[in-house]
Amino acid sequence: MRPRFPLYFVLLALCWAACSNTSPATRNDGGEGHREPVTRTVEGFRIQVFTSAEKSEAEQALVDALQWLGDVPRAQRPVGMDAESVDIHWQQPYYRVRLGTFANREEAETALALVKPEFDKAFILPGRVTVTR
């Protein structure tokens, strides 16, 4: 059961999301064409590929997801989808295997199109993510 938040919390979150910069962030040290990646936490998206009440099943799904991702050529992987982004999230009573850290919905949709043929029950969910761009 999801908690109910007063409307002002929802409005505050929407205002914060609208004002935050979700475009790729870079720092320029003054050199031509040299930009360092910047890491930040944003309200973004992840893809959930598996759910189970059994930890061992979730661990096997994690191995399967990592193996599948390893078989996808780097050039075909959407931004935000790498081995470090695959994990198990536990929230009573289920273990959930999630992948990707996407700053916006479009990135998540692109990744979902790649993931769906292998994990047919995969779906996008919102949440706080740490992205490096």
Quickly state the pLDDT bin for 33 (edges 50, 70, 90). low
Domain layout of the chain by residue ranges: 39-132
Neighbours of 100 (CB within 10 A): 28
pLDDT bracket for residue 32 (50, 70, 90): low
| Single pTM value for the model | 0.72
Reply yes or no: is the peptide bond before residue 24 cis, omega within 30 of 0.
no
Q: What is 39-132's CATH number, 3.30.70.1070, 3.30.390.30, 3.40.50.450, 3.40.50.720?
A: 3.30.70.1070
The pLDDT assigned to 11 comes to 42
- Residue 38: pLDDT over 80: yes
